[in-house]
A and B are shown apart, each in its own frame.
Chain A
Amino acid sequence: MDDDRIDQIIDRHQGEASSLIQVLLEIQSEHSWLPKEALTRVSERLEVPLTRIQHIATFYKAFSLVPKGRHQVNICMGTACHVRGAPRVLDTLQDLTGIQPGETDADLKFSLETVNCLGCCALGPVVEIDGTAHGKVSPSEAAEVLKRYE
């Protein structure tokens, strides 16, 4: 991500220090993670110490300081999905991808994340891959779905 693009995002927020979180969210949504160079640029432009940016980037769940895989797998661990068997589905996803929630595999194929409620409780358990929700999945169905992604 080049400095010009980051500058554009910052300018859109009138360069206010209070918009720091919004700026980071926009960078994250375009680039899928926050590279160190981007944070340095934000720090210079908004005149916010890098340590504070690091504090924010590690506190909020939306931010990632490492590159993401090609496919983002979110499994809903909200209460409705939990009582409908989401933990069993998560076990299966972990076994198949070999990674824990919050991690990305070595081939940068999958990033696995647990989320708390996607708001489609009627469909629980829900696994969302690249923004597409797969509802009422059993562990074996989750395995089938995962195979479709390259």
Chain B
Amino acid sequence: MPQLSSPADLEQLRQEILSGRDAERPCITLCSGSACLATGSGAVAAAIAEELEKQGLSDRVDIRRTGCHGFCERGPIVVIHPEGICYLQITPEDVPEIVARTIREGEVIERLLCVDPSVNEAIVHESEIPFYKNQTRHVFGSNGSIDPKSLDDYLAIGGYSALSKALFEMSAEQVLEEVKRANLRGRGGGGFPAGRKWEGSRDAPDEPKYVIVNADEGDPGAYMDRSLLEGNPHSVLEGLIIGGYTIGAHEGYVYVRQEYPLAVENLGVAIARAEEHGLLGENILGSGFDFTVKVHQGAGAFVCGESTALMTALEGRVGEPRPKYVRSNVKGLWGKPSVLNNVETWANVPLIINRGADWFTQLGTEGSKGTKIFSLVGKINNTGLVEVPMGMTLREIIYDIGGGIPGGKKFKAVQTGGPSGGCIPEELLDLEVGFDELTEAGSMMGSGGMIVVDEDTCMVDFARYFINFLTEESCGKCLPCREGLRQMHKILTNICEGRGQPGDIETLEELSEVAIEASLCALGKSAPNPFLSTVRYFRDEYLAHIEEKRCPALSCKALISYHIDPEKCQGCMICLRKCPTQAIEGGKRTIHVIDQDKCTRCGSCLDVCPDKFSAVRKISGEPVPPPLPEAQRAIAGKGKADG
């Protein structure tokens, strides 16, 4: 391995890599992010290698297994270069045809293309698919073109040029000034300006100093940090080394969840490659600057995403937050100045150094600059990771990129900011996303989770779900969070189960106030948000549960019943066979009846009742109609032709 000992060495290696690459040489890239792996990307990769071999093309076609492309709904994704032909939802069975027709003959296989639903036209290139077309993929865009395990691939797209520039053309003060001028705000939750955080550490007199990557991505429904670390680990490392240089730290840590094995693996490979090349370690690129990185795996505790808890966990102890009388950038890990930033924040740093703060601040709103990656999930047609400029409206993200709500259902709310974020209703869909805008609407940016829910989601149950999550994840150190959340969860459960009482909402509001005022860390302080935002926008749903014992979304199990409409039932026996508790009586061509005492409200009957009958329905807030007398249940006079 060549040790690079000057910026010229780096540029020479980059030129060698580029000149060794033929832009016209066919290359099949295959998304191998976690979501695509779960849908069979591994088997597709094996099939491609096998088929190329079989057709004698192995030495003429490259295969590149890349990180997440973002369009997880339609994976596994295959893009064929140099043409850039994009095929979606590929199975191993499709591979022989792809190799024979597209690779050999240059033909496009229409049935594997993405179809634009608005004009019903097949789209050949990835960049023209509406899901991608409306995004601005500065941070996340390289994922689709590099193999995360290959340093050469990263160098080929200009990797480590920002590091070289920072070390040789800029003083630490200039780097700091650039990051401050870019107004880069933390992408992990709080939105604190990264430049100010760095400055605090730089100015702190204590030594040694540390820089840390927060990759303890705990928010359920958010996986952008995972995809960045899995798909482009060098970009995060490059940002971290620049950060270390700026504040005067020589040691960095990456705190990553052990639930992300692929991220840990790819990061480990990236660190090893960077060390071999002299991009990490002693005297980086001959600059005299030393820097090493250690990976620390988290052991499963949501609260460890909180800065002080994370640092306590790094020290090998129980991850409980500590008071921040002195901020952790002055007294953090081992009591020393420590800068902790999220994965996405670090990955933005090389871009700012390379292209400058002026370029960075062109995008975004007054208070929020640059782009942000969101994970758009839930009841949405195009589930996936999307990167958009700050200031794009929720409506554009959900409808233009996300493709709207599936199944003809009605949009109800979008939940942003993770468990302690809030729900934003339909009337605020034209809200521009940014740190301050979302906070004003009673939610927050958080790490960028965006969970879309439709009319089938009960907002009381949704709030109960988040409060339950936070109750379980509360470390238990301080009382308002430990006990307050437990009580809130109890009351919300009562409401969902039909035991709600007048005054419950007021009690919940009071508990919320105490948790916000008196909790030690951000987990407790923001924990009441799911309740506060749903009661602010969906108070009528709370009242329906409490006063009428009715769940308007027909979701809360204790408040709904399943009923088979005798007018519609054709006695087909499908639901009767699927019912796990044998709660359905009836027989062939005999109207089925649900025994309400045996029914566990699992909903299997509704799932399986054929659409043409649609005989099963949910009811809430009214009594179940009495069953037909047995004598009248036979379905007479109807031939098969009617069915």
Q: CB < 8 Å: which of B38, B313, B600 contacts A21?
A: B313
B562 to chain A, nearest CB (A): 12
* 27 pairs from A and B in contact (CB 8 Å cutoff): A18-B315, A19-B316, A21-B299, A22-B297, A25-B299, A56-B317, A59-B319, A61-B299, A62-B258, A79-B377, A79-B451, A80-B220, A83-B462, A84-B378, A116-B220, A117-B222, A118-B34, A119-B223, A120-B34, A120-B72, A121-B35, A121-B378, A122-B73, A122-B383, A126-B38, A133-B38, A138-B607
Residues in A whose Cβ lies below 8 Å from that of B219:
117
Q: How far is the CA of A84 from the CA of B383 in the complex (A)?
A: 12
Residues in B whose Cβ lies below 8 Å from that of A60:
298-301, 319
B557 to chain A, nearest CB (A): 8
Of the four ranges (under 10, 10 to 19, 20 to 34, 35 or more), the interface on chain B belongs to 35 or more
Residues in B whose Cβ lies below 8 Å from that of A21:
296-297, 299, 313, 316
10 additional contacts, CB 8 Å, given A92-B580, A120-B34, A123-B39? A22-B297, A24-B299, A25-B297, A56-B318, A60-B299, A80-B221, A80-B378, A80-B383, A95-B600, A140-B578
Q: How far is the CA of A140 from the CA of B574 in the complex (A)?
A: 12
Q: Is A38 an interface residue when CB atoms closer than 8 A count as contact?
A: no
Residues in B whose Cβ lies below 8 Å from that of A121:
35, 72, 221, 223, 375, 377-378, 383
B344 to chain A, nearest CB (A): 15
Residues in A whose Cβ lies below 8 Å from that of B8:
none
Q: CB < 8 Å: which of A19, A59, A82, A122 contacts B465?
A: A82
Name the residue of chain A whose CB is nearest to the CB of B301: A60
A51 to chain B, nearest CB (A): 11
Would B457 and A143 count as touching, CB distance under 8 A?
Answer: no
Q: Can you list the 10 inter-chain pairs with the closest CB atoms, starting with the nearest?
A: A78-B220, A61-B300, A60-B299, A119-B223, A121-B377, A80-B377, A79-B221, A122-B383, A122-B72, A18-B316
Name the residue of chain B whose CB is nearest to the CB of A138: B607
Would A140 and B580 count as touching, CB distance under 8 A?
Answer: yes
Q: How far is the CA of A61 from the CA of B303 in the complex (A)?
A: 12
Q: How far is the CA of A19 from the CA of B296 in the complex (A)?
A: 9
Name the residue of chain B whose CB is nearest to the CB of A61: B300
Would A117 and B39 count as touching, CB distance under 8 A?
Answer: no
Q: Mark B224-266, 1 if CB is under 8 A from A, else 0.
A: 0011000000000000000000000000000000111000000
Q: How far is the CA of A25 from the CA of B453 in the complex (A)?
A: 36
A43 to chain B, nearest CB (A): 13
Q: Is B479 an interface residue when CB atoms closer than 8 A count as contact?
A: no
Q: Is B425 an interface residue when CB atoms closer than 8 A count as contact?
A: no
Would A119 and B226 count as touching, CB distance under 8 A?
Answer: yes
Name the residue of chain A whose CB is nearest to the CB of B465: A82
Q: Is A129 an interface residue when CB atoms closer than 8 A count as contact?
A: no
A contacts with B: majority SS: helix
Residues in B whose Cβ lies below 8 Å from that of A61:
299-301
How many chain A residues touch the partner (CB < 8 A)? 46
Residues in B whose Cβ lies below 8 Å from that of A84:
378-379
Q: CB < 8 Å: which of B38, B258, B314, B465 contacts A123?
A: B38
Would A59 and B318 count as touching, CB distance under 8 A?
Answer: yes
Q: How far is the CA of A66 from the CA of B463 in the complex (A)?
A: 33
Name the residue of chain A whose CB is nearest to the CB of B418: A79
Q: How far is the CA of A56 from the CA of B451 in the complex (A)?
A: 32
Name the residue of chain A whose CB is nearest to the CB of B223: A119
Residues in B whose Cβ lies below 8 Å from that of A139:
580, 602-604, 607
Whether A88 touches B223, Cβ cut-off 8 Å, given contacts A80-B377, A116-B218, A122-B383, is no
Residues in B whose Cβ lies below 8 Å from that of A143:
580
Q: How far is the CA of A117 from the CA of B38 in the complex (A)?
A: 14
Would B35 and A120 count as touching, CB distance under 8 A?
Answer: yes
